[in-house]
Structure 1
Amino acid sequence: MATTRLMPLHTGKGRTVGTAISDIIDYVQNPQKTDNGRLITSYQCDSRIADAEFLFNKRQYIAATGRVRGEDDVIAYHLRQSFVPGEITPEEANRLGCELARRFTKGKHAFIVCTHIDKKHIHNHIIFDATALDYQRKFRNFWGSTRAVRRLNDTICIENGYSIVENPKPHGKSYNKWLGDRAKQSQRETLRVMIDQALEQKPADFDALLKLLEGMGCEVSRRGKSYSLKAPGWDNAARMSKKLGKGYSEAELRAVLVGEKEHTPTRATPQPEPKQAVSLMVDIQEKLRAGKGAGYQRWATGFNLKQMAQTMNYLSEHKLLDYKVLSEKTAAATARYNELSAQIKAAEKRMTEIAVLRTHIINYAKTREVYVAYRKAGYSKKFRAEHEADILLHQTAKKAFDELGMKKLPTVKSLQTEYAELMAQKKAAYSGYRKARDEMKELLTVKANVDRIMGYEEEKQTEKDHTQEQSQGR
C-alpha cells in the first residue's frame, strides 16, 4: 500500500531562497533516518550539494529565458511516498522512489531520493529541481498533478507486485497517524468482542478469563499492577483499563466474575458480521503478493503488467471494487451500445429505403406519360424499342411499389421530411454511440484482464467442458 503527496517548496516568511531549499534537504538527508546516508540516491546532481546546484540551475534559467518570478517562486518540489509496514525493503523502496521521480519528471529534472527507515512504514522523500536540466523551462504544478502522481505511483507498485491504496483520500491525516488511529480503534473493538466471547464460557475467575483469551490468540502481559492485551496481528498492546471501554477494565471484569456486577457486552450475542463482498482490488493484490513464485511467473509471462496497472487504476477511479458490479456495468454498457447501434442501423436502413423509394417515385412520374402511350399502342414492339429506357424505369418502379404493397404513393416532400428527421436522429445518436462504444470497450478490456489474472477464464472453460461432457454422456 503506497501513498503519495506532492508539495511545492517556496521561499517563506523569515527565510531566504537558500535556506528554503537547504532546510528541507538537510531534513530528508538525516543520517539517522537514511542508514547513515546509504539510502540516498541522486540523479543529475550531487546529493551533498543539491541545494546549491538547484539554486545555480535557477540562475541559469533566469539568464537563459529572462523570466523572473516574485517571492512565491517555486525552487523545488517535495514528493513523499509511503509504503505499508513490512511489505518492502529499504533498498527496494529507494529503487521505486527513483523510478517514480524519473518517470514523473520524464528524466528532465535533477532529483534526490532519501529513504527513511525511522518509522514503522518505510517512506521516501523525493526532492526534484523545479528547473529543467536544459534551463529552458520550469516544472509547473498543474491542475490534477496529485492525481497524476498517484496514478503513476499505483502503476509502478502494481508493475513491481506491491499493493496500492484502494480508496485514496485527497486530504487528511498523515499516513503514520492514520495507520495508528486505525490500529487503536480496530484493536479495542476486537479485544472487546474477544472478552465477550470468553465471558460467555463462564470462566471461574479472572485467571481463567485470561487463559481463555490466550487460547483465542490474544497476547496477555503484565506490567506492574495492570494487565495489557494485544489482539492477534497487532503490534501494540492495549491496557485493561476504562480506555478499553465501559465495562472492560480489570476491576469491572473482576466484579462481573464474582457476581457483583452484570456484564453488558458490546454485542448482546456476538453475531458474525455480515459477509461483505471482497474488494476486487484486494483480490488482485493478493494474487500479486502471492507472489514471486512459479505461479506468479507463469502469470507474468503471459500478461502485460503495464496493462494490469491500467486496469487497477480504472477500477479504483471508477469505484468498481466488486466483481458483480463490474460484470453488471459491463453488461449494461454492452446493452446500451447494442441498443444505440441498432437505432442507428435502423435509421440508416430506413434512409436507404427512402432514397430508393424517392428515386422510384420520381422515375415513375417522369415516365408515366410514355408508359400510358405504350399501353395505348397495344404494347407495340416498335414503340418499346424507341422508348425502352423510360418503359424499363417505369416498370421497375411499379414492381417496387407492388413489392412494398403500396396502394397510395407518398409525396416526395413527405419523404424528404422523414429523411431529414432520421438524419437528425442519427447524428444525435452518434455522440452517445461513440461514448457508449468507448465505455463498452474499456469495461470489456478491464473485465477480461480481471478474469485473466483471477483465473475466472479457466473456471468458465472448465464449467463449459464439464457441461459438454454431460451432454455427450446423455
Structure 2
Amino acid sequence: MAITKIHPIKTTLNLSIDYICDPAKTDEEILISSFLCGHKTAALEFAKTKEKMNSQSKNLARHLIQSFMPGEVSPELAHTIGQDLCDKHLQRKYEYVLTTHVDKGHIHNHIIFNNVNHLDGKAYISNKRSYHQIRNISDSLCRVHQLSIASESNTSQARNKTKGSSYKEYQERKNGNSYKAKLQYAIDLAIKKAKNWDDFLRILQSQGYEIKYGKHISFKAVRQERFTRAKTIGDDYTEDKIKERIADSQKNKGHRIYTSKSHSNRIVDISTNQLASRSEGFAKWLKLQNLKIMSKSWNEINENNLTDIDSFNSYIEQVHDKLGMLQSEIKVLENDIDNKKTTLQNLQNQNKYHAIYKNYLSAKDRDKFFRDYETEIIIYEAADNYLSSTYKTTTFPQENLLTKNIECLTRKSSSLYQSHKDQKEKVKEVNQLRQNLEDYLRQDDRHYYKNIKEQS
C-alpha cells in the first residue's frame, strides 16, 4: 500500500533537501536519485532555474511523500516505484531529488521537486486534480508490482465494496472510533500475514479479538459490547471470501519476499567508514574492493572510447537523452493506438446499427421509430459524426485492416517498453559509473594531500 501526500516549501529549501538526503536515512546515500540537478546543489539549481525563467512564484518547491505498508516492499523496489512516479507525473519538466528512507518502521519516498517548470517557466499547479493524478499513478504502479493500494483499505463504498453504513457508523469512522473500521483494518492486515485460516484466527486473537463461530463468523474487540459479523463489513469479508483472499495472498507472496541487495558496485568512502577506522584489515579489504570496482569502471570507459572528461560527460548525456527519446516515442505510439481503437469502436458501432438507421430514414412515422430505437440511432449518429470529422471523407478504414494495424502497433509498443526498461538500467549504470569515478578521485585527492601534510 502506498499513501501519498504533498505540500509546498516556501522557505529553507536547503534544510528540507538536507533532511531527505540524510545518509542515516538513505542507506548511506545509496537510495538517492535526482533529475537535472545534483542532490547536494539542488537548492541552488532550483533557484537558478527560477531566476532564469523570471518566475515570481512564492513557492520554492513541492515536497511529495509516498509511504508503503511495513514489510511489503524492499528499499530498492520502493525507490524504483518513486522514480516511475516522478517520470509519469513530472514528465521531465521539473528538476527533482528523490530519496528512499529506511530508518523508520515503514519504507517511504521523499520527492522534492522545483516549483518552476524548467522548459517554460510555469509554476506547478497543486490542486485536487493534480493530487488525484499522483494518487492514481501511485496506485497503478503498486498494482504492477502486486502491492496493495490505499483504496483497498479505505472506507469508500465504491472503491472497497463495503456495505452501506448508518450515519452513526459514518461519524464513528470519521472520528476514528468505529469498531467495524478497526476490524476491517485488522482483517486486511491479518490476511497479508496469515499462512492459512487457523493462522489468521490466531493473529486476530493475539490482537485481543474474541471470536464467535456459527453460520457467520463474528469478532468482538476489547471493551466492545457486541460481536460484529465480518460479512457486515462488505462482500470481501465473508468467511469464504477471507479464506480465498488468504490463499491468493500466499500465491503472490513469492513476489513480495525481498532480500537486501548487495551494493558491491559502489565505491565505499574508507575515510568515513567506522568499521574501517577500527580495523586495518577491513580497511585493506575495502580498498581492494574499490580497486576491483574501478577496474570494471575503467573497462567500460575504455570500451566506449571515453578519452577525456568531455567525452565522458557527453556519453552520459547521450544515455539520458536516449531514455527521453524512448519515453517520447512510447507516448506518441500510445496516442496513436488509442486513436485507432476509438476509430475501430466507432466503425463497429456504425456497421452494427447501419440497418436500423437506414430504416429510420425511410420510416413513415420517424418520431415513433426514433422512440423505439433511440439508443441505437444516437450511437450510430455519434459514430458517423466522429468518422466524418476525423477522416473528412466518406471512405473509412476497413475493420480487419485496422485491427491488424492495432495489433502490430501493440507489439511495437511492447518492444519499446522493453527497450525503455533496458535503457533505464543503463542510465542507472552510467550514473553509478560517474558517482564511482567522482568518489574514487575524491578519495585519491584526500590521500595525496594527507601524505603531503605528513611529510611536511
User: So what's the TM-score if we normalise by structure 1?
Assistant: 0.41
User: So what's the TM-score if we normalise by structure 2?
Assistant: 0.43
Indicate the structure (1 or 2) with the bigger Cα radius of gyration. 1
